[in-house]
């Protein structure tokens, strides 16, 4: 029985203006980096979200243990709100859920979010759980694939939650342009979706295609350090994406007998403006076809794994095939095809 996405929900911390963040904190943080202001201005981000506003509290010197404690404190209410909204949208109660999957790369605890939220929401004691950890920005799509396989095999509903709090990983000031780019883009969010077997409404998860170019593994990293998690982000990432995105989309659509022109909605992870430019140009899309992704980048920033789910929410009223794509360490490109149920 096909797995169908029938509900979605999200929860966002306080919104912060990008210019205010620059003037209030990062201008001083990167006072010796001449290109920093230009990078912030060209990020495509107008507003983003943070559980730790650096203007009010500078946590760049915090140890990893303190950051993980704060993660749990902040992630629980956000995750609960997102999952409750998704279940309500799907018309389900927590007791109906058979699998609860959580994707995150920004915080860890044991017992984790999956156990704590399942108990807090009232999910059944026989609930199956899955943690998708440290995969990065593309984790929502393998999470969807795993949840979809469970729904298809067991004929029971599943919930996927992506909860990312990147603001807890502000790093000490360094003259490192990769760090400047990361600090200009990343944001916090929790987003959840519900999948049900054979539902007559929503979007059916038709297929998932992945491509990993292991020869470029050093282009994007997310290292655990004594001072939180540190991003490595090569400027060559868009060039690698350009080599693979066309063949991935072709494989995804050909399997369903579709062409690029048949796609009604494109939910492309807005890793940054250049990422979206590459996808547009390599696939021959019109700029308007990436409007939802540009909007999410501008209004919410890059929220790691939660971001593509936010873009799918923007496309909720689109009628027809939808392609969701996200990119991350590996370098890895994941794409999913969603068709009307």
Question: Residue 115, class by beta-carbon neighbours within 10 Å (0-12 exposed, 13-18 middle, 19+ buried)?
Answer: middle
pLDDT of residue 234: 84
The Cα 164–Cα 71 span in angstroms is 9
List of domains in the chain: 3-197 (3.40.47.10), 203-340 (3.40.47.10)
Fill in the DSSP letter of residue 111.
S
CA distance 126 to 40: 47
Cα separation, 4 vs 6, in Å, equals 6
User: The whole model's pTM is what?
Assistant: 0.96
Q: How far apart are CA 188 and CA 70, in angstroms?
A: 13
| Residue (of 322, 210, 314, 209) closest to 262 by Cα position | 322
Residue 161 is predicted with a pLDDT of 98
The one-digit pLDDT tens for each residue of the chain (341 residues) are 799 999 999 999 999 999 999 999 999 999 989 999 999 999 999 999 999 999 999 999 999 999 999 999 999 999 999 999 999 999 999 999 999 999 999 999 999 999 999 999 999 999 999 999 999 999 999 999 999 999 999 999 999 999 999 999 999 998 889 999 999 999 999 999 999 999 999 999 999 999 999 999 889 899 999 999 999 888 888 898 899 999 999 999 999 999 999 999 999 999 999 999 999 999 999 999 999 999 999 999 999 999 999 999 999 999 999 999 999 998 999 999 999 99
Nearest to residue 208, comparing CAs of 159, 141, 130? 141
Instruction: Report CA-CA distances (Å) from 258 to 5, 93, 211, 243, 341.
Output: 20, 36, 20, 21, 16
pLDDT at 175: 86
Residue 332 is predicted with a pLDDT of 95
Q: What is the DSSP string of 66-92?
A: HHHHHHHHHHHHHHHHHHHHHHHHHT-
Cβ atoms of 336 and 266 within 8 Å: the answer is no
| Catalytic sites, residue numbers | 137
* Cα 290 from Cα 279, distance rounded (Å): 9
Largest CA distance in the chain: 58
User: Where does the chain show beta strands of DSSP type E?
Assistant: 3-11, 15-17, 47-49, 99-104, 128-133, 158-165, 188-197, 203-212, 220-225, 228-233, 265-268, 322-328, 332-340
Q: Name the DSSP letter for residue 175.
A: S
């Amino acid at each position: 029985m096909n797995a169908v996405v029938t509900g979605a929900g999200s929860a966002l911390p306080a919104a912060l203006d990008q210019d205010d963040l620059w003037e209030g904190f990062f201008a001083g943080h990167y006072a010796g980096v001449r290109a920093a202001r230009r990078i912030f201005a060209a990020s495509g981000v107008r507003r983003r979200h943070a559980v730790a506003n650096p203007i009010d509290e500078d946590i760049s010197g915090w140890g990893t243990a303190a950051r993980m404690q704060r993660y749990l404190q902040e992630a629980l209410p956000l995750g609960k709100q997102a999952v409750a909204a998704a279940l309500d949208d799907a018309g389900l109660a927590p007791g109906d859920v058979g699998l609860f999957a959580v994707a995150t790369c920004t915080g860890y605890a044991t017992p984790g979010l999956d156990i704590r939220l399942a108990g807090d929401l009232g999910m059944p004691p026989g609930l199956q759980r899955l943690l998708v950890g440290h995969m990065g920005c593309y984790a929502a799509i393998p999470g969807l694939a795993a949840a979809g396989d469970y729904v298809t095999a067991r004929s029971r509903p599943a919930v996927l939650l992506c909860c990312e709090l990147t603001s807890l990983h502000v790093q000490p000031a360094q003259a490192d342009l990769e760090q400047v780019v990361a600090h200009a883009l990343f944001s916090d969010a929790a987003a959840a979706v519900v999948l049900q077997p054979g539902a007559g409404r929503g979007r059916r998860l038709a297929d998932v295609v992945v491509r990993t170019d292991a020869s470029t593994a050093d282009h994007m990293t997310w290292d655990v350090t004594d001072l939180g998690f540190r991003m490595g982000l090569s400027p060559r990432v868009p060039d690698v994406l350009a080599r693979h995105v066309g063949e991935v989309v072709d494989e995804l659509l050909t399997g369903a007998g579709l062409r690029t022109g048949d796609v009604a909605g494109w939910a492309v992870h807005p890793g940054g403006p250049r990422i979206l430019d590459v996808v547009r140009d390599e696939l021959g899309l019109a700029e308007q076809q990436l409007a939802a992704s540009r909007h999410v980048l501008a209004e919410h920033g890059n929220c790691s794994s939660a971001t593509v789910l936010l873009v799918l929410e923007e496309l909720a009223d689109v009628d027809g095939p939808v392609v969701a794509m996200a990119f991350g360490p590996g370098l890895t490109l994941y794409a999913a095809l969603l068709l009307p149920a």
